[in-house]
Amino acid sequence: MGDIQDAYLLRAIRELRDLEREMDGCEACRRAGLLPVKPSGSPTAEVMLVKWTAGLAERQEGVAFFGRPGDAVKKSVTRLGMDPSVLYGTLCVKCIHEGPAGGDAPNPAWLAREIRIVGPAIVVVMGGRTLAALNALGLPLTEPLADEPGVVQRWTPATDAIVVPDIDESLDEQQAKRRFWAAFRALGEWHQAQPPY
């Protein structure tokens, strides 16, 4: 069993490196003197966290879920009795794109590849724009996700999803923190219900 897991891990690492090299080649980012914000966490994670875009600390470090959002998620996951090493965090908008509006726009092909490579058992969808982006991906065998915070939904035959409020919009106000936690807590309940293998 260990050999198979090692092979999956090595393949995921290789494919994610290829994706990151492609992201590094973004001409719009180069012209702006910026670097794309890379994902963080385990390449074969059980839980994939997806939020819309990077905050200032994440842009400065070039790593998704760096700083306050990452600290808040780690504390929340630990509170739920989960190991933070089962997490993979990424963004819909990883870099600057020259879209029709000239502003930030997600590259759906990159996000779809990430989801396929990591193969998470559950995706934590952070915020309404992220929910719309995931529903627009059109991945094979996906069910449309409803905007029902804290409800475990079947997304694909192999992947569940939970919609939660945007973490970045939830950190500075007490009511917003409570709403985030109330929805995020469903991840712990989902985790506890998983078979022990």
pLDDT digits (tens, 9 = 90+) for 88-139: 999 998 876 633 344 566 778 889 999 999 999 999 999 999 999 999 998 9
Q: What is the pLDDT of residues 33-61, one digit of tens each?
A: 778 889 999 999 999 999 999 988 998 89
DSSP, residue by residue, 65-123: T-SHHHHHHHHHHHHTT--GGGEEEEES--S----TTSS----HHHHHHHHHHH--SEE
What's the topology of domain 2-192? Answer: Uracil-DNA Glycosylase, subunit E (3.40.470)
Question: What does the alpha-carbon distance between residue 25 and residue 94 come to, in Å, rounded to a whole number?
Answer: 12
**Would the pLDDT of 188 be above 90?**
yes
> Which pLDDT score, from 0 to 100, does residue 9 have?
86
Closest alpha carbon to 147 in 167, 169, 125: 125
Q: What is the pLDDT of residues 4-20, one digit of tens each?
A: 888 888 999 999 999 98
* Strand pairing report for 160-164 and 122-126: parallel
> Which pLDDT score, from 0 to 100, does residue 96 have?
65
Per domain, the residue ranges of the chain are 2-192
**Would the pLDDT of 29 be above 80?**
no
Portion of the chain with pLDDT greater than 70, in percent: 93
* b (16+ CB within 10 A) / e for 142-171: beebeeebbebbebeeebbbbbbbbbbebe
Give bridge partners of residue 149 from the DSSP assignment.
Answer: 163
Q: Is the pTM of this model over 0.75?
A: yes
More confident residue, 74 or 29: 74
